[in-house]
Structures are given as C-alpha cells and as structure tokens.
C-alpha cells in the first residue's frame, strides 16, 4: 500500500473509519440497518491484525449465528489473506462452551459434558417434578422450563432466585426444583443451553485466576448485534472486558441497532445499549447514518414503518443511491395463490438473469414455508431452507407420514419400524428383534410377520397384545381408505394412534410448533384427490436433491434473517394474527406489538433492490377458512414510496382465485401422472433413512445363523429354542409348533426359531 491506507480502511466512510481506528478504549456503534456495522467489525479485526496490535487468538469476536461467524472468518481471510487462528470468533454459546469445556471441573462437569436439547431438558424436568410428588398437571415441566430459562438468561443461580419468583411455582418450591434440576444435570454430566453461558460466567466469577487468564488473553473484544444480548451475556462480556487496573480502559467494541431488537421474548434486553456509556465511562459512541444496502424507496419505507414505534432512540438514515423500484404490496386470495405468485415473480427474475442466491422469502412462522416449498418443487425452482429442516423432513412430519404409509402400504417396513414404538408402547428392542429375525427369514414384510407372531408366544404377553392392538388399528384405518375424506382419516389416525397426544403432553413451545406443522400437513392433504396421490407427491418432494452447489432461493424466518441481505426479498403473510403474531400481542401487549414491528423493519431492510409484501384475504386456520384482516403494518407504510396492487391477475381477489384454481388443477393433473407405488416407496424409504436419529434398526445375522429353516418337525422331536431352551415338540400346525419346554413349560412358538437337536 504505497498510498497510505489499505483497502479495508479506504473503503470506509469517515465515521466507519473512526470506529475502526479507535482501537483503544470502549466503542459503541449505534446505527440503523445496512449502515455497515458488521463491515466495521470485520475491518476492525483486519486492522488490529494488520497493525500487529494482537494475534488472532487474542481477539474475542461474538456474532449472532454460526453462519455469521463463518462469513466473518471468510471476509477477514479475504481482507488480510488469513482468517485462520480466529479461534475465539463465534456465537456467545460457542465461545462459552469452549471456555466451559476447558474448565469443566470448576463447574462440576467433565470436559466431555453433553449439551441437552429441549426435549431432553423437558424429560429431565418431568422426572424432577415427579420425584418431588408435585402435581405435574398443575405445575408443568413446561412452566418450570420457562422459569429456569428466564432465570438463567438473567444470570441467576438457584440461590439467587428472588423469593417472590420462586413462590410462583409449586407453592414456593420453584427455586428448590431449579436446584434439584441442576444437581441432576451435574450427575448426568450434562448442561442445558442456558447453562453454557451461566456456568461459564460462574467459573469466571468464582475463579479469579481463570478470569485473569482470559482478561489478559482477550486484548480486543467485539460484539455484533449487541441489541439482542441478554443479561447473562452482558455480565459475561463486562467481566471479560474489565481490566485489573481500573485505569486501563477495556478495548470493547459493540455494534447494534435498537430498532432491530427482536429477541425480547428470549430475554434480550435492549437497555444494554443504553447502559453502555454508563458502564464503560468515556466510551466513544459512533453513529452511522448512511445506508449502503437499500435503494431509496426501500429505505424510506422501512424508516417510515419503524417510526411508528414509541420505544426507540430514533435515528436518521439516508442513502446516496438511486430511488430504485418501489416496494410492492399485493393482496392475494390465499396462501396457495401467494406461493404461486411469488414463484412466478422469481421465475421472471431468473429469466432476466438474476441469481437465485440473491432471492429470499422471509416468513413470520415456519409453517408458512410448506406452501412455498411445494410450489418451488412443482416449478423446479431450487431452494434451501435456512435455519431448520425442510417441511417434509421435520421429525413430526416424517412420523405422521410413516403412519399414513403403513396404512396405505402395509409392506412399507421402514415406515413400520419408525412408528411401531412411536409414541412409546413398550415394544422394545427385544420384541422388535424377534419380529425382524422372523420377517427376514420368511422374506415377508414386518407387519405380516407381526400378524403371525402375535398368534404365538414368541413375544411376551403384554407386548403381544400391544402389537395385536396396533395391527388391528392399521386394519381398521386401511378399511376406511376411500370411505371418508383422506385428510379426515389422517387426522383420525394421528389421534387414535396417540401420536398427537404424545406431542400435546410435551407442552413445550417446540411441541406447539410441531402440532402446528401436523395441522398444516393434514390441511395440505385436502389439495389431493386421495391418500395415494398425496403420498406419491410427498415422496417426489422428498426426493428433490438439494445437494448440488447451484444457486438457490433462500426460505427462512424473519428472526433468522437478521444481519443478512438479498437483492430481492419476498415478505408473505402480512395479516393480523400472523404478522403481528397473535401470541406476541396477547402476551406482551404494546411491547409485543413493537417487537413485531421491529421484525417487519428487519424484514424490509434485508432488501437491496426489491421488496415485495403480500397479504392473503383468506387463510385456513384449524381447517376453517377465515377471512383475514390485512396487517396493521401495511398502514404504517408511506404511500409515496410503495406501490399497492390490490390483487394479482384479474384484478379482483375472486377472479385471481378462480384463475389460480384452474392453473393448479392443471399442474396437479400432470403431477399425478407420474408412475406409481414402487417408486414412491423407494423414495419414501430413502427419506426415512435420513431421519433425525431414529433410523431403521439394523439387525445382523448372528442369531439367525444358529437357526435352521423350519418345516421338518414332527411330534416327539427334541428341539432347542433360542429363548426357551430345550424341549419336545408336542404338536405341529404349519409353521407354528407347540412345544413342551423343559423349563418354560408348554408354549406356542414359530418353527423359524427352533433348532432340531442333533441326536
């Protein structure tokens, strides 16, 4: 660099550059969306390294997602030719996990401790509640989980829980149960998500030498998306940033935007921004006002929208760029038309040469994704779901599909394996092993094998009657195919099998989402003429291979889109109840509404050149068509900067609706032409194998090797049975043998499991 500054500095405006070059002392960058906050952080790291002020492992940099961390590493590598060694660049959780593993023994754990997921956590809490003889109907694990999470987010250990709050659960036993739960975690050598930070914080607090080690190590600390830090994250940061000599100011640089605080429901506290100057006296506060991301109309729309919030610091934003296209608001008939219209728009963009990587669909709730996924598959438009599995790959959807497949296709072994003990029915590995051995030996499907087995005593009486009942259920359900609407049958199957109840009992927020998805599944079936066509369609959908590295449309939630940007952004479902979401309004009133509006602001400001907003006039909720009210956020948009097209296509909602109906009947027709069951089954089977941790049982031939094929038994033969031992054949009825066992007495067994004793 002959002419002074390196590229990563000269590419910055003066305010950004000040934030980068003020390396010593606390710095707060408080600025709106797209003003280059993340760019400042990246440049700052490059600058620190280039100046030799610190080595990569001496920089602690916190991003909001793992994806953001990877991107930042890549960008640093691009700027200075090396992103390696940034071992402390990651999310709060990743970094505190790393610290905790290094000092696990100080937290009463081993360094290989397990991190519990929500389901495990709920199970454990249930055990704790039960063990204390507390009425778990009245005091649910879900409520306790919520309380504990909340305490952890606020950095409160059991002993520090305010008495008033502990009193709110099980007649004052909240704190005690929290303590018991923590004890159980330690015994299991496990930590839940909230522990990662809290325990790391405790280790630092209680071990001054450890704390000093990290304080000395981290010469520079940087935090992105600072508005979404919660109390425990804040305490953790403050502790690490402190210097032993109070005269030395911490080199802490935080960047954030109060208007993008969207995790209040998870305990994030936007006040951390306001506290910054107080906690870090002499902090340099930098404001960035020039937006580099979005064109004029988009920026004006976003600014006008967020101005309707009362709780905000307020800031100016401007762009030197062109006005560009006005954001467009369109009414559509229903979610199906919404997906169709968005699909068309994206195809047009594609034809004009736009990259699909530059297109995103941002939804408020994950169930909205299904319709888009289906449409894109029909169109052959490549897409990816960011931050979660695709709709049909979700655990609950795979389980539900397995029930439907077993009903329609009794020979579908993978489906049967998947649900035979889901929900738990006490059909453990031992019974399944017998079932498998027999089916394999006879070359018959599992369900058929089960039908024969339940007539014998190979399986214990209790399991036998459970299995028998399940087979009866499937017979009954199969008998109803064609007798009643298939989506009603599906609902009935999920109810009667106990599957819906299984999730209802979970009572976690996550389980609620799963129940919502199951409803969406049943709803989606109505579009198909029968169960067979539906299953056929699903197997084709599942087969869409997204593995190649081609360009793809991104589908994600608004929460997941924070910090990202796309040339074109589609924002569907702007209807009251969905967005703003009813739950936020019910639970948090005006604060909830303002958080929803910030989410809308985040959505619009992801767009560089194109933002398209949709609302559907009708949405089916719980199986019933409901007329919706357009989102109040639409009234918050500036008329001068947005283009409102009342409805797509024929101009009236109804006309567009009729058109979409016909269009879809057409395309569905061709979808059903695709060849039949063999293929569906093969695809389905592949799908089931990919499932999350509940794959098919693999049974090796060891046991089988010892048995000889049946068929040659006669009364009086001495035989040996793998489970019941030696005995004599008393009767033969086809493949079933009555045997008087020396120890176990008379039993009806299958010849496949019996070995002729060589005399």
Q: Examine the residue annotation and report whether 606 is marked as an active-site residue of this protein.
A: yes
Catalytic residue among 15, 16, 17, 38: 38
**Kind plus residue range of the DSSP H or E element containing 671:** helix 653-672
Identify whether 224 is a catalytic site residue: yes
302 preceded by cis ω (within 30°)? no
- Provide the minimum distance between the beta carbon of 634 and ligand ATP in the complex, in angstroms, as a whole number: 22
DSSP notation for 302-338: HHHHHTT-SSS-----B-SS---SPPEEEEESSHHHH
Q: Is 37 annotated as a binding residue?
A: yes
- Least Cβ distance, residue 40 to ligand ATP (angstroms): 7
Please say if 118 is a catalytic residue.
Answer: no
The residues pairing with 211 across neighbouring beta strands, listed in sequence order, are none
Torsion sign (Cα): 340, 341, 346, 351: positive
Q: Does 11 bind ligand ATP (CB under 6 A)?
A: yes
> How far is residue 312 from each of residues 36, 279, 302, 315, measured CA to CA in Å?
20, 20, 14, 9
Least distance in angstroms from the C-beta of 504 to ligand ATP: 38
- How far, rounded to the nearest angstrom, does the alpha carbon of residue 179 sit from its chain's CA centroid? 29
Helices 429-442 and 446-453: crossing angle in degrees, nearest 10, is 110
Tokens of 21: 């070059």
Task: Determine whether the annotation assigns residue 31 to a binding site.
Answer: yes
Q: Does 158 bind Mg ion (CB under 5 A)?
A: no
Which residue among 15, 192, 195, 225 is the active-site one? 225
Q: Which does 12 bind (CB under 5 to 8 A by kind): Mg ion, ligand ATP, none?
A: ligand ATP
At 667 the three-state DSSP class reads helix
| Of the residues 563, 572, 687, 727, which one makes contact with Mg ion according to CB under 5 A | 563
Out of 12, 27, 60, 253, the only residue in the binding site for ligand ATP (CB under 6 A) is 12
Binds ligand ATP (CB under 6 A): choice among 9, 26, 30, 39: 39
Question: Residue 35 binds which entry of Mg ion, ligand ATP, none, with Cβ cut-offs from 5 to 8 Å by kind?
Answer: ligand ATP
Residue pair 222/28 in contact by the 8 Å Cβ criterion: no
Compute the least distance from the CB of residue 578 to ligand ATP, in Å.
23
Q: How far is the CB of 607 from ligand ATP (least distance, A)?
A: 11
278 is in an annotated binding site: no
41 close to 224: Cβ distance less than 8 angstroms: yes
* Smallest distance, ligand ATP to C-beta of residue 24, A: 23
**Is 738 a binder of ligand ATP (CB under 6 A)?**
no
Q: Which residue is nearest to ligand ATP (CB)?
A: 36
> Is the alpha carbon torsion for 107, 109, 114, 119 positive or negative?
negative
83 C-beta neighbours (distance < 10 Å), count: 21
Measured from the CB atom, the residue of 287 and 507 that comes closer to ligand ATP is 287
CB of 519 to ligand ATP, least distance (A): 33
Nearer to ligand ATP by Cβ, of 147 and 302: the residue is 302
CA distance 574 to 331: 10
Q: Is 504 assigned a ligand-binding role in the annotation?
A: no
Q: How many whole angstroms separate alpha carbon 732 and alpha carbon 751?
A: 9
DSSP-derived letter for residue 139 is S
Ligand-binding site membership of 33 (annotated): yes
Q: Which of positions 251-310 make contact with ligand ATP (CB under 6 A)?
A: 257, 260, 292-293
Q: Which residues of 11-46 are buried (b: 16+ CB within 10 A; e: fewer)?
A: ebeebbbbbbeebebbbbbbbbbbbbbbbbbbbbbb
Stretch that binds Mg ion, among 38-46, 179-187, 244-252, 287-295 (CB under 5 A): 38-46
Is 170 assigned a ligand-binding role in the annotation? Answer: no
141 makes contact, choosing from ligand ATP, Mg ion, none, with CB < 5 to 8 Å by partner type, with: none
Size of site (CB under 6 A) for ligand ATP: 19
Instruction: Report the alpha-carbon distance of residue 543 to residue 550 in Å, rounded.
Output: 17
Write down the least CB distance from residue 355 to ligand ATP, Å.
15
Longest CA span, the chain: 102
- 728's enclosing H/E stretch is strand 725-733
* 37 carries an active-site annotation: yes
- How far is residue 616's CA from residue 27's CA, in Å, rounded to a whole number? 45
Number of residues in contact with Mg ion, rule: CB under 5 A? 3
Establish whether 225 is a catalytic residue: yes
707 vs 444: CA distance, rounded Å: 17
- Nearest in space to 13 (alpha carbons), one of 24, 27, 31: 31
Nearer to Mg ion, 38 or 466 (CB): 38
Chosen from Mg ion, ligand ATP, none, partner binding at 456 (C-beta under 5 to 8 Å by type) = none
**Site string (555-584) toward ligand ATP, x via CB under 6 A:** --------x-x-------------------
Which one, 14 or 701, has the nearer CB to ligand ATP? 14
User: Which residues make Cβ contacts (< 8 Å) with residue 475, sequence separation at least 6?
Assistant: none
**Strands 618-621 and 643-647, bridge-based pairing:** unpaired
154, 606, 619, 747: the active-site residue: 606
Q: Which is nearer to ligand ATP, 517 or 605 (CB)?
A: 605
Query: Do 398 and 418 meet the contact criterion of CB atoms below 8 Å apart?
Result: yes
Specify the DSSP element, H or E, that contains 124: helix 118-131
Residue with tokens 């991104």: 554
> What is the Cα–Cα distance from 80 to 68, expressed in whole angstroms?
18
Considering beta carbons, is residue 63 or 539 the nearer one to ligand ATP? 63
174 binds ligand ATP (CB under 6 A): no
- Least spacing, CB of residue 9 vs ligand ATP, in Å: 10
16 touches which of Mg ion, ligand ATP, none (CB within 5 to 8 A by kind)? ligand ATP
Please name the residues in contact with 654: beta carbons below 8 A apart, sequence gap of 6 or more: 333
Cβ of residue 34: shortest distance to Mg ion, in angstroms?
8
Q: Which of 33, 339, 360, 408 binds ligand ATP (CB under 6 A)?
A: 33
Member of 16, 35, 38, 294 binding Mg ion (CB under 5 A): 38
Q: How far is CA 655 from the centre of its chain?
A: 37
Pairing of strands 607-616, 284-288: unpaired
Burial of 704 (0-12, 13-18, 19+ CB in 10 A): middle
Contacting range for Mg ion; rule: CB under 5 A; set: 29-37, 301-309, 465-473, 569-577: 29-37
Task: Indicate which residue of 17, 37, 612, 747 is catalytic.
Answer: 37
Ligand-binding site membership of 68 (annotated): no
610 binds ligand ATP, rule: CB under 6 A: no
Is residue 21 within the footprint of ligand ATP (CB under 6 A)? no
- Residue 47 interacting with ligand ATP (CB under 6 A): no
Q: What's the CA gap between 457 and 464, in Å, rounded?
A: 8
Which pairing describes strands 624-627 and 618-621: parallel, antiparallel, or unpaired? Answer: antiparallel
Active-site entry in 15, 192, 199, 224: 224
Active-site residue set: 37-38, 224-225, 260, 606
Binding site for Mg ion (CB under 5 A): 37-38, 563
Binding site for ligand ATP (CB under 6 A): 11-13, 16, 31, 33-39, 257, 260, 292-293, 563, 565, 605
Which residues participate in the annotated binding site? 31-38
Which residues participate in the annotated binding site for ATP? 31-38
């Amino acid at each position: 660099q002959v002419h002074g500054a390196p590229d990563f500095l000269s590419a910055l405006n003066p305010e950004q550059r000040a934030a980068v070059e003020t390396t010593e002392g606390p710095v707060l960058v408080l600025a709106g969306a797209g003003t280059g906050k993340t760019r400042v952080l990246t440049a700052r790291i490059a600058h620190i390294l280039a100046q030799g002020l610190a080595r990569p492992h001496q920089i602690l940099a916190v991003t909001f997602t793992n994806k953001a961390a990877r991107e930042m590493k890549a960008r640093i590598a691009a700027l200075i030719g090396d992103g390696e060694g940034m071992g402390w660049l990651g999310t709060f959780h990743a970094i505190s996990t790393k610290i905790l593993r290094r000092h696990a023994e100080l937290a009463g754990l081993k360094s290989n401790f397990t991190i519990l997921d929500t389901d495990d956590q709920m199970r454990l809490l249930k055990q704790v509640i039960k063990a204390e003889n507390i009425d778990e109907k009245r005091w649910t694990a879900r409520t306790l989980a919520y309380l504990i999470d909340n305490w952890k987010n606020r950095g409160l250990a059991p002993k520090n829980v305010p008495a008033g709050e502990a009193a709110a659960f099980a007649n004052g036993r909240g704190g005690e149960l929290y303590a018991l739960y923590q004890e159980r975690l330690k015994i299991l050598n496990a930590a839940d998500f909230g522990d990662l930070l809290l325990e790391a914080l405790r280790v630092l607090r209680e071990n001054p030498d450890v704390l000093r080690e990290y304080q000395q190590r981290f010469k520079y600390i940087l935090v992105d998306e600072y508005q979404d830090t919660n109390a425990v994250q804040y305490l953790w940061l403050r502790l690490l940033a402190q210097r032993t000599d109070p005269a030395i100011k911490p080199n802490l640089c935080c960047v954030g935007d109060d208007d993008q605080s969207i995790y209040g429901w998870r305990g994030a506290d936007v006040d951390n921004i306001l506290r910054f100057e107080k906690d870090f006296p002499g902090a340099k506060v930098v404001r960035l006002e020039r937006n580099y991301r979005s064109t004029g109309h988009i920026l004006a729309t976003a600014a006008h929208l967020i101005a309707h919030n009362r709780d905000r610091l307020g800031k100016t934003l401007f762009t030197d760029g062109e006005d560009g296209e006005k954001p467009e608001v369109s009414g559509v008939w229903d979610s199906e038309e919404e997906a169709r219209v968005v699909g068309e728009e994206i195809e047009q963009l594609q034809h004009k040469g736009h990259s699909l990587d530059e297109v995103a669909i941002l939804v408020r709730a994950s169930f909205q994704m299904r319709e888009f996924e289906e449409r894109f598959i029909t169109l052959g438009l490549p897409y990816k779901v960011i931050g979660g599995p695709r709709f049909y790959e979700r655990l609950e959807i795979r389980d539900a599909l397995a029930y439907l497949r077993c009903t329609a296709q009794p020979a579908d072994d993978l489906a049967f394996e998947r649900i035979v003990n889901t929900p738990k029915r006490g059909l453990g590995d031992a019974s399944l092993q017998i079932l498998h051995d027999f089916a394999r030996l006879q070359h018959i499907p599992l369900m058929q094998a089960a039908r024969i087995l339940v007539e014998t005593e190979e399986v214990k009486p209790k399991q036998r009657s459970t299995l028998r009942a399940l087979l009866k259920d499937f017979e009954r359900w199969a008998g109803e195919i064609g007798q009643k609407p298939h989506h009603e049958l599906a609902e009935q199957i999920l109810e009667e099998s106990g599957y819906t109840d299984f999730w209802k009992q979970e009572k976690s927020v996550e389980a609620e989402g799963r129940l919502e998805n199951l409803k969406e599944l049943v709803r989606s079936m109505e579009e198909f003429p029968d169960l067979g066509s539906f299953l056929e369609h699903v197997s084709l959908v599942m087969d869409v291979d997204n593995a190649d590295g081609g360009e793809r449309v991104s589908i994600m939630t608004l929460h997941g889109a924070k910090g990202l940007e796309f040339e074109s952004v589609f924002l569907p479902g702007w209807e009251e109840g969905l967005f703003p979401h009813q739950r936020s309004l019910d639970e948090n009133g005006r604060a909830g509404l303002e958080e929803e509006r910030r989410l809308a602001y985040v959505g619009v400001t992801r767009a560089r050149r194109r933002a398209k907003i949709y609302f559907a006039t009708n949405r089916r909720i719980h199986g019933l068509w409901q007329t919706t009210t357009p989102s109040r956020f639409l009234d918050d948009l500036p008329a001068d900067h947005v283009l409102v097209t009342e409805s797509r296509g024929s101009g009236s909602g109804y006309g567009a609706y009729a058109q979409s109906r016909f269009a879809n009947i057409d395309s569905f027709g061709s979808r059903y032409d695709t060849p039949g069951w063999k293929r569906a089954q093969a695809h389905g089977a592949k799908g089931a194998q990919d499932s999350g941790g509940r794959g098919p049982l693999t049974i090796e031939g060891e046991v089988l090797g010892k048995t000889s094929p049946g068929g040659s038994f006669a009364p009086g033969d001495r035989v040996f049975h793998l489970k019941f031992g030696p005995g004599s054949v008393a009767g033969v009825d086809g493949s079933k043998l009555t045997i008087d066992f020396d120890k176990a007495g008379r039993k009806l067994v299958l010849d496949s499991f019996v070995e002729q004793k060589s005399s």
